[in-house]
Structures are given as C-alpha cells and as structure tokens.
C-alpha cells in the first residue's frame, strides 16, 4: 500500500456514512453506496440532525414529523441496502457544540468499526449550510482522532475499542468540488432515484421531479469522459491526508 495514493473504495467491507440530514447520503452518493453494498459491504447511516426545519406540513408536531422522517429514511435505506441507522438528533439548522458532535461521531466509529467513511465535503466552496460544514469537519477530524485512547466517548465502547483496535482505510467526501474519483453508478442509479423518491416529507411533487432531473443531468455529466453512462464524484483521502498534508487537494 502506497500511503500517498488514494484508497480504493471498491474494496470496502464495512462503511459508516455520516450525514447532516436524512437524505444527504442518498442524494449525493446513493448510487455509489448501493453499488458497494452489492459488492458485499455492510453499510451504516449516522444522521446528525433531526431534520425538522425542512418538513413541509406545518400541521405535524415535532414527534409526528420525526417519526415520519425516520420511516421514510428506513424505506429509502432498504432500497440502498443500509444495514442499520443511527441518529444523533441535533437541532436542524440550530446551535450545537462541535466538540460534542465530534465525540459522538468518534463513539460511533469505535462502535461500528468501519474501514471506510463517507460524509459531505465541508471545504466545498460557497457551502453556506452550517450543518454540512460542522458534520463534514467533525467527521474528518473524528477519522484522525478516533484511535487516540485518551479521548473518551462512552466507557463500554472505549473499553472494547482499546482491547481490539482497528484502522480506517479512508474517507470519501461527497458533494465535493474537487473530486479525485468518478464512480460508475450506471447499474445502481435507479436504486438511488427510487430511494430518494421516498423522501416525501421535505419535497413537493414538483420539487422532487426537479431534483431527480437535476441529479440525472449531473450524473450523466460526470460520466461523459468515461465508458459508463452515469457517475458520482467523490474526494477520497486516507486519514493521514487530513492533517498537515498540503498536497491533499491534489491527491
């Protein structure tokens, strides 16, 4: 293994995908994740916020809305192949502590034991949504710090990790402006789009149609220089590229 080369994500066996909101993984990387599941990987979703800000039906109270959101996410996850879901429940578009978020992501890394992590790219130019910035940065930092035993999360999780440590191969950032991987989703794009159609609580019928048309356009555009028809862009880095490595942007 060359530590300066990007990792090969197709070899992943256990994936943790950390998202700000309930639909981000599927919208930006659902085709890739579905393909990796088909290749034998176990896939887990960790959702940071409660997603309540985007709920269209104002007659729903918070409990009703959250129940509906999670049911839609489960239905979409069955299509993609998600093995299990975890939720942190931070206030959507609200105030929450970065270090508390980082600790909880580290806890789930130690608990789920992934060899590959997916999350949104917090360094995408003009990204204005703080949920995306906080989630991406906290996940990236958790990926380089989770092995430090002096950083405590939950005692039983930490104890098990100390007895049986493991390593992460890399982090795949989606919604990125600087991809180094164009992943073929020609065989799984229909799964991705079918999963996204389950997210009715936050999309009107017209908005959903526009989203799917936009995604199809982008998927075709990213594949235009290759032999396949549809693709998703990713920035894939090893954990060692995420600290003190100026060439990461060129990796």
> What does the pLDDT profile of the chain (251 residues) look like in tens digits?
677 789 999 999 999 999 999 999 999 999 999 999 999 999 999 999 999 999 999 999 999 999 999 999 999 999 999 999 999 999 999 999 999 999 999 999 999 999 999 999 999 999 999 999 999 999 999 999 999 999 999 999 999 999 999 999 999 999 999 999 999 999 999 999 999 999 999 999 999 999 999 999 999 999 998 999 999 999 999 999 999 999 999 99
| C-alpha distances in Å from residue 98, one per residue of 29, 119, 141, 150 | 24, 16, 11, 18
Task: Give me the pLDDT at residue 180, please.
Answer: 97
Task: Give me the pLDDT at residue 2, please.
Answer: 76
Q: Domain coordinates of the chain in residue numbers?
A: 13-250
* Superfamily of 13-250 according to CATH: LmbE-like (3.40.50.10320)
| HEC sequence for 11-45 | HCCEEEEEECCCCHHHHHHHHHHHHHHHCCCEEEE
Task: Give me the pLDDT at residue 3, please.
Answer: 73
What letter does residue 146 receive in the DSSP assignment? T
Alpha carbons 154 and 219: distance in angstroms, whole number: 40
- 232: Cβ–Cβ under 8 A, 6 or more apart, which residues? 28, 29, 31, 32, 174, 182, 183, 185, 219, 222
Q: Report the predicted TM-score, pTM, of the whole model to 2 decimal places.
A: 0.97
């Amino acid at each position: 293994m060359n530590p300066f080369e990007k990792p090969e994500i197709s070899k992943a066996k256990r994936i943790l995908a950390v998202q700000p909101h309930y639909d981000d993984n599927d919208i930006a990387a659902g085709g890739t994740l579905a393909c990796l599941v088909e290749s034998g990987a176990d896939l887990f979703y960790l959702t940071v916020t409660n997603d309540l800000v985007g709920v269209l039906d104002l007659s729903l109270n918070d409990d009703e809305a959250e129940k509906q959101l999670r049911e839609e996410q489960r239905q979409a996850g069955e299509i993609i192949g998600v093995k299990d879901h975890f939720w942190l429940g931070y206030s959507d578009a609200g105030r929450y502590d970065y270090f508390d978020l980082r600790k909880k992501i580290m806890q789930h890394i130690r608990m789920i034991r992934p060899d590959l992590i997916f999350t949104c790219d917090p360094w995408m130019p003009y990204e204005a949504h703080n949920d995306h910035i906080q989630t991406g940065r906290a996940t990236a930092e958790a990926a380089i710090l989770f092995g430090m035993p002096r950083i405590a999360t939950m005692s039983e999780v930490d104890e098990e990790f100390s007895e049986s440590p493991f390593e992460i191969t890399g982090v795949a950032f989606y919604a990125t402006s600087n991809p180094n991987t164009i992943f073929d989703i020609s065989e799984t794009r229909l799964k991705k789009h079918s999963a996204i159609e389950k997210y009715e609580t936050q999309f009107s019928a017209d908005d959903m149609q526009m989203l799917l048309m936009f995604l199809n356009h982008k998927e075709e555009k990213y594949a235009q220089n290759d032999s396949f028809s549809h693709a998703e862009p990713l920035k894939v880095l090893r954990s060692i590229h995420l600290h003190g490595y100026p060439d990461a942007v060129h990796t």
